[in-house]
Structure formats: C-alpha cells, structure tokens
A = this chain, B = another copy of it.
Amino acid sequence: MALVSTRNPLNIGASARAMANFGFARLRVVNPYDVAFREARSAVGAAPLLQSAEEFSSLADAVADCKLVVGTTSVGHRELQHPIRRLEYGARLIRRSLAQAPVGLLFGSEKFGLSNEELSHCHWLMRIPTVDPDLSMNLGQAVALCLYELARDPKAVEARPERIRRAGAAENEQITAMLIDALRQSGYINPVTAASTEEKIRRLVRRLDLAARDAPVLLGMLRQVLWKMGGRE
C-alpha cells in the first residue's frame, strides 16, 4: 500500500494502524511531507509497520515490483481516463491478483487526491461508494474501508452468530414447577382453574426461551421468594 504526498502525520499513523488491524504489512510512502512522516514515525506507540515503512521519491519506483497498480479516488468532477470499479467489486479483483503478485494500492494527498500524473501509473481506479461524491472521505477512514474490504471473507455475511446456549427442557420444567409453587403459595392461582393456569405458566416459561446460564439465577430468585413466603425450602 502506498501513501502519496500525505500531509498529516495522524493520517499516516491511522493508515498504519488499519493495516495492522487487517493484516497488511508493507507500507510505502511517496514524497510525504517530511515533517509529517518523521512525526508519524516517532509518535509514541507507532506501529512496527510504520518503522519499517519504505520511503520513495518517485511513484514509479514505489510500484516497480507490482503487477497491478490501483488508484483510489473519490471521483470528483475531474474527467477520469480510467475504468472505475466500486470498492466491493474492485477488492475482489485485487484479492485474485494478490494471489499471484504484489499489488500496489495508492492513496493520494488529503487535499487533492492523486494527480493526473500519478493516476497514469494505475491500471484502474477504485472508488468507495459514498452517497455524495463531492464530499470527500477522511484519508485514514478511506484506507480502513479499502483494507477491510480486501480482507473481507465473502462467506462471513452468512455466518451464524456465536449463539448463546439455551436452557434445556429439564431446566425449563424445574423453573416452571417452582414458579407454579410460588404462585400457588402467594394465592395467585385459583384452585378452580389451577390446571389451565399451570399450563399457561408452562407455556410462558417456554416462550421466554431462557439462556442456559440464566436458569440457575431464576431458580435462586424463586427459591428465595418461596423461603420468604414460609413454604418449603
């Protein structure tokens, strides 16, 4: 990944952090504002990734070993001379290329993006699908989005959540029994309609779909209430 003519040390730092977050290692900076790069590099807690970033004075040198060079753009009014791919689709193409050879992903300066000269080194451009193309993105955020999408596992959207184990039938019935007991002692259950009330209670407990770990908590609460009402322990 190459940052071209970046001005703000915070953006260089944020870009390096996003690379670490999503498992990318090789950062190159082309013509950074000297002060910015030195500041970012010497910041407390600067990532090792930032320490090993390579500096280039020409973009051609920075991407010399890349088989594919992709520029990022917010697509302003400029008449662009390249095919433009949306991030979601472009990232898929880049992932495929990365399996064979290094790919250069370029981010331009905060103020002007990539210049036409810089764009001419690119095979194609990638744009982040924001709602208003005239409202540019923050550089660090744009880098994070691109790397997130590159690291994306297409199957993850189908992934089931990490489920919480539900209480089993035995635990639900134990709670039901104790609740019926407590409600009987409290006078809630009318002896005449007791049978149907008890069924209602059983269904209600099933509807709660309790988590397994909540079952003993509820049992403890009921036990205490039963004890207080003077019933059996």
Contact = CB atoms under 8 A, between A and B. Distances in A.
A164 B83 contact: yes
A61 interface: no
Interface residues of A, number: 44
A169 interface: no
Interface stretch (A32-40, A86-94, A106-114, A181-189): A86-94
Copies in the assembly, this chain: 2
A162 B22 CA distance: 28
Contacts of A88: 152-153, 156-157, 159
Interface stretch (A12-20, A51-59, A96-104, A195-203): A12-20
Contacts of A17: 135, 137-138, 141
Interface in A30-75: none
Given A83-B164, A86-B159, A89-B160, 6 more contacts: A14-B138, A20-B135, A86-B156, A89-B159, A89-B161, A154-B157
